[in-house]
Amino acid sequence: MLEHIVKIEGLSHRYSKDWAVKDISFDIHRKGILGLLGSNGAGKSTTMNILCGVLSQTEGKVLIEGINMRENPEEAKKRIGFLPQNAPLYLEQTVDEYLTYCAYIRLVDKRRIKAAVDEVKERCGVAHFSKRLIGNLSGGYRQRVGIAQALIHKPLLVVLDEPTNGLDPNQILEVRQLIKEIATDRAVIFSSHILSEIQATCQDIIMIEGGNIVFKDTMESFNNYIEPDSLVTTLENPPALSVLQAIPGIRSVEFVTDKIIRMHFDPTIDIAESIVELSVGQHWRLKEITLERSSLDAIFAQLSNKKSKPAVQS
């Protein structure tokens, strides 16, 4: 058995004269969640569409359990479940009708279709909506049905494009937990432009910007690699804005409320220690201090400026 379910080598694709992705290479393990992070237009969807056989690449190779997607697409696709950003749902069908249809087109043995449908309904928490029209379900349950269709044929790899997009906070938590459960016995790719979604769900991360991989490592390494660039303090007796702006290393100061202050700073300076010492010495009465991670744009800028990038395989 191969160590990796997916192997991508030198993947490049262009539309007309513009390259959407350029020379992308990575492997995916057989279990766990890999986060694919990037801003809108970074090349995430192009990469996933090629991986799932929806799009034929300009250059490079995609192997699914050793099977070349371009040379033998039918066999390769049997091993993949795909939920695109806009779930391919038929709103006029019931949950049972839709999942039965999906099992049929996914070549599930006809004798096993009912059992397969019952199994994914139970796993995705939609069994009690079996006879309900999909168009009458909430956004969260529609997304669950979308995930169910990606699991109906028991694929080795499930690819989810922005699976929590448009959901309310409770639905997001539910879908995150479902994805984590799915990843206990198969590989999952979770694509998003929202950093917090990737951080909350994934063990490994690949960051794409401008069609290139700018980071590839574990989520733990990513969190350690990116310096905080802002600090939020709660001061019972805050000083004037000009006093805070004059602190060495402070780049900008924003009063969120009259007592809560956000300060952006030079990450090479231990600004938290300076704030604590000044608060004690000048009686600012510091109640709370929190370091904030960089914004996604700031992270891309940091990674672009790094001379060395991690080369650990995901």
**Domains along the chain?**
4-225 (3.40.50.300), 230-292 (3.30.70)
CA 192 to chain centre: 4
Read off the pLDDT of each residue in 123-144 and give the average, rounded to a whole number.
Answer: 95
Q: How far apart, in whole angstroms, are the C-alpha atoms of residue 152 and residue 255?
A: 51
Give 314 or 54, the one with higher predicted confidence: 54
Tell me what percent of the residues of the chain surpass a pLDDT of 90. Answer: 68
Q: How far apart, in whole angstroms, are the C-alpha atoms of residue 268 and residue 115?
A: 58
Task: Find the helix or strand (DSSP H, E) in which 217 lies.
Answer: strand 212-218
Q: On the CB side of 31, how many CA atoms lie within 13 Å of its CA? A: 5
Going by C-beta distance under 8 Å and a sequence separation of 6 or more, which residues neighbour residue 225?
A: 215, 217, 310
Q: What stretches of 152-188 show up as alpha helix (H) in DSSP? A: 169-182
Q: Whole-model pTM? A: 0.75
pLDDT at 59 over 90: yes
Please name the residue that has the structure tokens 């937990």.
177
Q: How far apart, in whole angstroms, are the C-alpha atoms of residue 163 and residue 64?
A: 22
Q: What is the mean pLDDT of the chain?
A: 89
What is the pLDDT, as a whole number, of residue 169? 83
Strand partners, 61: 9
Please name the residue that has the structure tokens 């066999």.
75
3-state helix, strand, coil in the chain (%, to 5): 35, 30, 35
- Helix axis angle, 139-151 to 169-182, nearest 10°: 10
pLDDT at 314 over 60: no
pLDDT at 138 over 60: yes
Tally of CB atoms within 10 A around 253: 17
Q: How far apart, in whole angstroms, are the C-alpha atoms of residue 161 and residue 191?
A: 5
CA 291 to chain centre: 23
Q: On the CB side of 169, how many CA atoms lie within 13 Å of its CA? A: 0
Q: How far apart, in whole angstroms, are the C-alpha atoms of residue 42 and residue 211?
A: 6
Read off the pLDDT of each residue in 279-284 and give the average, rounded to a whole number.
Answer: 94
Phi, psi of 12 (to 5 degrees): -140, 145
116 with 108: CB under 8 angstroms? Answer: yes
The pair of three-digit structure tokens given for residue 4, joined into one six-digit string: 């990796």
Torsion angle of the four alpha carbons 61, 312, 44, 189, in this order, in degrees rounded to the nearest 10? 90
Read off the pLDDT of each residue in 201-213 and give the average, rounded to a whole number.
Answer: 92
What is the bridge-based pairing of β-strands 157-161 and 187-192? Answer: parallel
Q: If we measure between CA atoms, which residue out of 271, 208, 218, 184 comes closest to residue 39?
A: 208
Tell me what percent of the residues of the chain surpass a pLDDT of 70. Answer: 90
Read off the pLDDT of each residue in 73-91 and give the average, rounded to a whole number.
Answer: 93
Phi, psi of 122 (to 5 degrees): -65, -45
Q: How far apart, in whole angstroms, are the C-alpha atoms of residue 174 and residue 181?
A: 11
What is the pLDDT, as a whole number, of residue 41? 86
Going by C-beta distance under 8 Å and a sequence separation of 6 or more, which residues neighbour residue 15?
A: none
When pLDDT is cut at 50, 70 and 90, the band that residue 311 belongs to is: very low
